[in-house]
């Protein structure tokens, strides 16, 4: 455990040293939020979102780039320098998820910055990127199934239940869902990053209780970096993750949960993320099949803003709710 804490402190220290120069760099290259009129997946304007976020124009985004670089380098260094035994396919799954979804998110960030006019292949629509998410998720799920032997889910009261090759579409669904859920939740300063720390703490407890515990090293390195980032991301944020960070961290959170083997617990440990994407999904389905909204506004945090809640109040209460969800998830993970 002392080694894990050392990795967390080192990651936090390095990120805290680099983040201020990195913020200055983002200002220099003008990777900042632009004044824009956003649209939903149906290409319809979202004036309520623009109303509550207009004041954030000019704040740099792309903090996920720094997190990905720091965590990837430290992870490779940590496993290599200390000759820590780890399955090569497990390391591949972790870093492939972390980096590939980050690159897809970076595409979205650059597209916002350039309006899709300066870089080739920026004509992809949401459905195209959604398909790419599924392709990446199926690659990860296939490796989990074929190379690492994951074909089961843990169900409280029954233990491990094998679902065979159906684990592949199931795992892909979990990965895509959390990548998008995290992206949706990253709409308020500090909301997604704070919830992530809570979730990672819960999964660290699970990973540390298992034989080997090599997954814990990546988790603690990630926790240290995200914690340092969060210092600059809380209201009013000096930097945001950007899609490069939210896509990467959301997918990685799902993969961490899958690697612990406590698959059902993922939905509870990440309960606030589930509420965020659930509310958005209900709204999307209502518009798609019924031609009307089923909720006054979605996602959930935007509804609370409309109700008059201050942004810091929403974030603090979401963190508290996330903490209790994590306890419930841990209970389901450990109790047979």
Q: Say if residue 121's pLDDT is above 60.
A: no
| pLDDT at site 171 | 96
- DSSP strand pairing (159-162 vs 152-155): antiparallel
| pLDDT at site 313 | 96
DSSP alpha helix (H) spans, the chain? 2-28, 47-53, 63-81, 88-114, 126-146, 167-185, 191-208, 215-233, 242-260, 263-269, 271-285, 300-306, 311-334
Structure tokens at 74: 């430290």
Q: Determine which helix (DSSP H) or strand (DSSP E) holds 155, and give its type and residue range.
A: strand 152-155
Give the contacts of 23 (CB within 8 A, at least 6 positions apart).
Answer: 60, 232, 238, 239
Calculate ∠ Cα 158-164-168, nearest 5°.
110
Coil vs helix vs strand at 152: strand
Q: How much of the chain, in percent, has pLDDT values that exceed 70?
A: 85
| pLDDT at site 333 | 84
Give mean pLDDT, residues 124-139: 89
* CB crowding 11-41: b at 16 or more within 10 Å, else e: bbebbbebbeebbeebeeeebbbeeeeeeee
Question: What pLDDT, in 10s, does the model give residues 19-70?
Answer: 999 999 999 988 877 666 665 565 666 666 667 666 677 789 899 999 999 9
Q: Residue 112: exposed, middle, or buried by beta-carbon count in 10 A (0-12, 13-18, 19+)?
A: middle
**Top-confidence residue, 98 or 55:** 98
Residue 98 exposure: Cα atoms within 13 Å on the Cβ side:
23
pTM of the model: 0.91
Question: What pLDDT, in 10s, does the model give residues 264-297?
Answer: 889 999 999 999 999 999 998 888 888 888 888 8
**Top-confidence residue, 314 or 59:** 314
CB 175 within 8 A of CB 247: no
């Amino acid at each position: 455990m002392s080694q894990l804490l050392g990795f967390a402190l080192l990651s936090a220290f390095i990120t805290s040293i680099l983040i201020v120069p990195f913020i200055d760099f983002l200002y220099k290259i003008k990777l900042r939020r632009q004044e824009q009129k956003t649209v939903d997946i149906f290409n319809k304007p979202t004036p309520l979102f623009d109303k509550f976020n207009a004041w954030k124009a000019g704040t740099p985004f792309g903090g996920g780039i720094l997190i990905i670089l720091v965590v990837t380098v430290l992870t490779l260094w940590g496993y290599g320098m200390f000759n820590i035994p780890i399955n090569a396919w497990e390391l591949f799954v972790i870093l492939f998820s972390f980096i590939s979804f980050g690159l897809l998110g970076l595409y979205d960030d650059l597209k916002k910055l350039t309006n899709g006019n300066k870089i080739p292949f920026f004509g992809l629509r949401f459905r195209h990127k959604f398909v790419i998410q599924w392709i990446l998720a199926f690659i990860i799920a296939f490796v989990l199934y074929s190379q690492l032997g994951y074909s089961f889910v843990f169900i409280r009261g029954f233990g491990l239940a094998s679902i065979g090759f159906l684990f592949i579409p199931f795992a892909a669904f979990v990965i895509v869902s959390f990548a998008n859920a995290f992206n949706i939740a990253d709409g308020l300063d500090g909301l997604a990053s704070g919830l992530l720390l809570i979730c990672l703490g819960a999964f660290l407890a699970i990973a540390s209780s298992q034989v080997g515990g090599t997954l814990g090293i990546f988790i603690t390195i990630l926790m240290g970096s995200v914690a340092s980032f969060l210092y600059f991301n809380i209201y009013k944020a000096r930097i945001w993750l950007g899609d490069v960070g939210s896509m990467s961290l959301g997918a990685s959170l799902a993969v961490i949960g899958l690697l612990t083997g406590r698959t059902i617990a993922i939905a509870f440990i990440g309960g606030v993320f589930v509420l965020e994407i659930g509310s958005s999904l209900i709204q999307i389905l209502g518009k798609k099949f019924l031609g009307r909204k089923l909720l006054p506004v979605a996602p959930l945090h935007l509804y609370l803003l409309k109700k008059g809640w201050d942004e810091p109040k929403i974030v603090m209460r979401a963190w508290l709710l996330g903490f209790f969800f994590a306890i419930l998830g841990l209970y389901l993970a450990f109790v047979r």
